[in-house]
Amino acid sequence: MSKRITIALMGNPNSGKTTIFNNLTGARQHVGNYPGVTVEKKEGYLRYKKHEITVVDLPGTYSLTAQSEDEIVARNFIVEEKPDVVIDIVDASNLERNLYLAVQLMELGVNLIIALNMSDLAKKMGLRIDEKKLSELLAVPCIPTVATRKQGMEELLEKALALNERKALSRREPIRYGKEIEEEIRKIEEIVRRDGELGEKYAPRWIAVKLLENDEEVREKVKASAFGQEILSQVEKSSAHLESVFGEEVEAVIPDRRYGFISGACSQAVKKSYEVRHTISDRIDRVFLNRILGLPIFLGLMWLMFKLVFKLSEPMMGWIEGFMGWLGNFLGNLLPEESLIHSLVVDGIIGGVGSVLVFVPIIFLLFLAIAILEDSGYLARGAFIMDRLMHKIGLHGRSFIPMMLGFGCNLPGIMATRVIEDKKARLVTILVNPFMSCGARLPVYTLFVGAFFSERHAGNVLFSLYLLGILVAIVMAKLFRKYLFKGAPMPFVMELPPYRMPTLKGALLHMWERGVVYLKKAGTVIFAGCILIWALSNFPYNIQYSRNYQALIEKVRDKEELVIKLKNEQAEEKLEKSFAGRIGKSISPLFKPLGFGDWKPAVALMAGFIAKEIVVGTLGTLHAVGEGEESLRGALRKEKWPDGRKVWTPLVAYAFMVFVLLYIPCVATIGVIYRETNSFRWPLFAAFYTTGIAWILSFMVFQGGKILGLG
């Protein structure tokens, strides 16, 4: 009979925790949110030696003194859910700092294993870790691992199973804080033990230590208990006494004692076999983080990324485009011609959703490129490079990380602002995050860049849009900090992980995790949006035409060109008199000064509020590109005004893309802004101010281009 156990993975950010999670669970993963919060929850599953093992990848955290929501979620899972085994992944090349979290986990009395990850890097740095000695000193199994090479994974599982069988191993001798502090801990601990419910649910010693550290989350739990007032009263007395003894607050003394314990253990178990030389990371950073060269190199790498992504995806998009054309033609021949079901399947589903699916390759390749930069350690350098600039606008590098995440999707980018402790900086970061060009906008760019710009310039145009989004975000952040949210930013120390060679499996898993969200959208939100647009463009069904097209077609049935022309005129008039046409014509004058004053792009932009990908799906539906060889790109190139002028030119296309980049965030983003700010004021403000900026900049692009003779 198989046994079920739960293993929780903890560790500092950039310690290799996610790589170990991927090594253990492979593709058997589930990603969701913890109940009641927006922090991501990752669970994986594996079967090992007749054991069904659930692995929970907790958010990266430096300690169990919960401040941000990530830290609260990680700690509460350990304290409340009580996993069978906790594996703390530490960076072996930076052992003293990383062991601080391990020491706090030891205080909790959990079944703990320490994974000394990146042990190969530690050796290269001249560090020799005696794992056996360290295990004895900490009374915790310490196992060397190299996550990028899958070394030590089986040892971790073996030790986890053994530890789960022998609960007595968790009854280790606690860390001692000295006679004075220990006496006060004992006094608080005795009262906690008398409170049966509190004493059984949590380790009494841990509760006492956290109360002396003035942990707000623990204070709230104690306050609600039966002996809450008595416990807190004792804490006040103990804190006052200890402050008089040490001359400083006890919440500062306790961490010092922990670091003293860690330092003593490391001095005995870690030896330097030679003078630690500058690491490869240090040598690379001399160039990449150079005050003069750092920013140009960062921008150059971003430019190269977009250039390569566009070039590599073009053939694959062509294959999908061809397949969608064939599928529309095939299904169109099976269904009754000119029937509603024919129009729904061919124009609504194939023309709408199919137009969006064409861009799956470029979305996945972009996510793959970002995953490689992230796993290599360079993405953190991007935040460091931008830190100086961010300080000038009243923010810091930590704000740039959520903005970088916004390139994938604005939702996790906005959620990631929870790590920013400065409330003003956090709100500013939330308000400018929608300017980060998310993956949902990429299909729009790819459609128009591919249709109106040569392959030679495509990457440059794409890069310019992403750069424009960053520049607008920076300018608006500066204005917000100067006029709306005044005050200097809180100081922040940026941590730079060592450079690592990304693993193919890890990069592909990260790409899939992000890319599958796009596929799910195509099957749900985008599908529903395209059906809605199809309905609006096909009803009312029986309209009054200005001419008797059927009679005219009968007269010229032998002249194929005239028949096609009349059918196109009939289809165009039907669209213009549909609900979509009426809505589009009512709002299209707003966009005339921007160059795209036709009603079709107006409807597409309105549909884009549901999800930005639907802009492409809407244009595909309105241009009826589901059947035949005609692609949406081809249809846009051929579209003309009644006077023969082309509706779309490179200048108009670029102005349209600028508007899509900057205008109102999608409905999901508006919802998450409300959730994160707990106010209707800020999502409404974001909706209106982003659209206003989009109109102004799009106007400047189009009118400025005309003045320069680019139109």
Same domain, yes or no: 357 and 474: yes
- Asked if the structure places residue 351 within a domain, the reply is yes
Nearest in space to 499 (alpha carbons), one of 14, 7, 4: 14
Same domain, yes or no: 253 and 151: no
Per-residue pLDDT band for 705 (boundaries 50, 70, 90) equals: very high
**Number of domains within the chain:** 4
Using DSSP, state whether 202 is helix, strand or coil: coil
Give pTM, 2 decimals: 0.59
Structure tokens at 422: 């400065």
Supply the CATH number for residue 103's domain.
3.40.50.300
Distance CA 15, CA 95 (A): 11
Structure tokens at 485: 């949210």
Structure tokens at 269: 């178990």
Distance CA 166, CA 460 (A): 61
- Asked if the structure places residue 666 within a domain, the reply is yes
Distance CA 118, CA 95 (A): 11
Same domain, yes or no: 556 and 607: yes
Give residue 38's pLDDT: 44
Give residue 36's pLDDT: 47
Whether the pLDDT of residue 379 is over 90: the answer is no
Domain boundary among 170, 197, 217: 170
Q: Taking every pair of C-alpha atoms in the chain, what is the biggest distance, in angstroms? A: 106
Whether the pLDDT of residue 8 is over 90: the answer is yes
- Asked if the structure places residue 627 within a domain, the reply is yes
Domain boundary among 170, 198, 217: 170
The contacts found for 175-180 with CB under 8 angstroms, 24 or more apart, are 175/103, 175/106, 175/107, 175/257, 175/258, 175/261, 177/209, 177/253, 177/254, 177/257, 178/257, 180/242, 180/245, 180/246
Most confident of 112-126, 318-332, 386-400, 510-524: 112-126
Whether the pLDDT of residue 323 is over 60: the answer is yes
DSSP per residue over 370-422, as a string? HHHHHHHTHHHHHHHHHHHHHHHTT--HHHHHHHHHTTT-HHHHHHGGGG---
Distance CA 603, CA 585 (A): 9
Distance CA 618, CA 607 (A): 7
Q: What is the pLDDT of residues 345-361, one digit of tens each?
A: 877 777 667 766 776 78
Segment 609-613 mean pLDDT: 79
Using DSSP, state whether 142 is helix, strand or coil: strand
Segment 154-175 mean pLDDT: 74
Question: What's 423's DSSP letter?
Answer: H
Could you tell me whether strands 127-129 and 3-11 are parallel, antiparallel, or unpaired per DSSP bridges? unpaired
Q: What is the pLDDT of residues 165-183, one digit of tens each?
A: 875 444 455 677 877 888 8
DSSP per residue over 67-131, as a string? -SHHHHHHHHIIIII--SEEEEEEEGGGHHHHHHHHHHHHHHT--EEEEEETHHHHHHTTEEE-H
Segment 393-408 mean pLDDT: 72
- Asked if the structure places residue 289 within a domain, the reply is no
Same domain, yes or no: 462 and 558: no
Same domain, yes or no: 452 and 311: yes
- Asked if the structure places residue 519 within a domain, the reply is no
Same domain, yes or no: 618 and 471: no
Whether the pLDDT of residue 276 is over 60: the answer is no
- Asked if the structure places residue 278 within a domain, the reply is no
Segment 476-500 mean pLDDT: 72
Domain boundary among 151, 170, 189: 170
Same domain, yes or no: 192 and 163: no
Helix %, strand %, coil % for the chain, to 5? 65, 10, 25
Q: How many CB atoms lie within 10 A of CB 519?
A: 15
- Asked if the structure places residue 367 within a domain, the reply is yes
Give residue 151's pLDDT: 92
Most confident of 94-108, 265-279, 310-324: 94-108
Whether the pLDDT of residue 232 is over 60: the answer is yes
Whether the pLDDT of residue 63 is over 60: the answer is yes
Domain with 430, as residue range(s), is 294-504
Q: What is the pLDDT of residues 518-546, one digit of tens each?
A: 677 666 766 777 777 778 777 887 777 77
Q: What percent of the chain is modeled with pLDDT above 90?
A: 17
Give residue 592's pLDDT: 92
Give residue 682's pLDDT: 93
Same domain, yes or no: 334 and 261: no
222 and 211 in contact (C-beta within 8 Å)? Answer: yes
Give residue 275's pLDDT: 46
Same domain, yes or no: 117 and 206: no
Give residue 114's pLDDT: 94
Give residue 582's pLDDT: 86
Whether the pLDDT of residue 256 is over 90: the answer is no
Distance CA 608, CA 603 (A): 9
What angle in degrees, to the nearest 10, is found between the helix axes of 250-269 and 179-194? 110
Same domain, yes or no: 386 and 479: yes
- Asked if the structure places residue 285 within a domain, the reply is no
Same domain, yes or no: 164 and 183: no
Same domain, yes or no: 557 and 691: yes
